[in-house]
Amino acid sequence: MTRKLSEDETLKLVQLYGENECLWDIKSLNYRNKEMRSTALQNMAQQMQIGGLTSTEVKNKIKALRATYYLELDKIQKSTRSGAGGNVYVPKVKWFQALDGFIKNAIVKRKTMVSSYCNLFILFPS
């Protein structure tokens, strides 16, 4: 059963997600424990009290929420850069602050390579 969650249901999902550190906190001892993560997803599906909602769907909805969260963060960062104007972007989704409250401390930023540097290593067949 794949369906769109209401804002209140999404907020409840985010709150349940925050209670299960093994799903989002890479510093948690249980983060790499697949059994515990699977159990947490099953429990979340049951606690949502939506008929037919499976742990796989909960996992997919979490992935979608995180993707949207990162897009919203990017919009905030772009609006605060110099030359962007005076208005700082404020996310309109109801669940953003709840997710941001716990996930911002678990974000691991990766260094990116400059594309011109990457192009130096392209080999052409002779």
The full 3-state SS of 18-51, as one line of letters, equals: HHCHHHCCCCCCCCCCHHHHHHHHHHHHHHCCCC
List, for residues 6-57, the tens digit of each pLDDT value.
Answer: 999 999 999 999 999 999 999 999 999 999 999 999 999 999 999 889 999 9
pTM more than 0.85: no
Place 125 in a pLDDT band, splitting at 50, 70 and 90: low
List CB contacts of 82: < 8 A, sequence separation 6 or more.
none
pLDDT-derived band at 107 (thresholds 50, 70, 90) equals confident
Q: What are the boundaries of each domain within the chain?
A: 7-119
pLDDT tens digits for 75-93?
998 888 867 667 889 999 9
pLDDT number for residue 71? 95
Burial class (CB in 10 A: 0-12, 13-18, 19+), 14: buried
- Stretch 86-103: mean pLDDT, rounded? 92
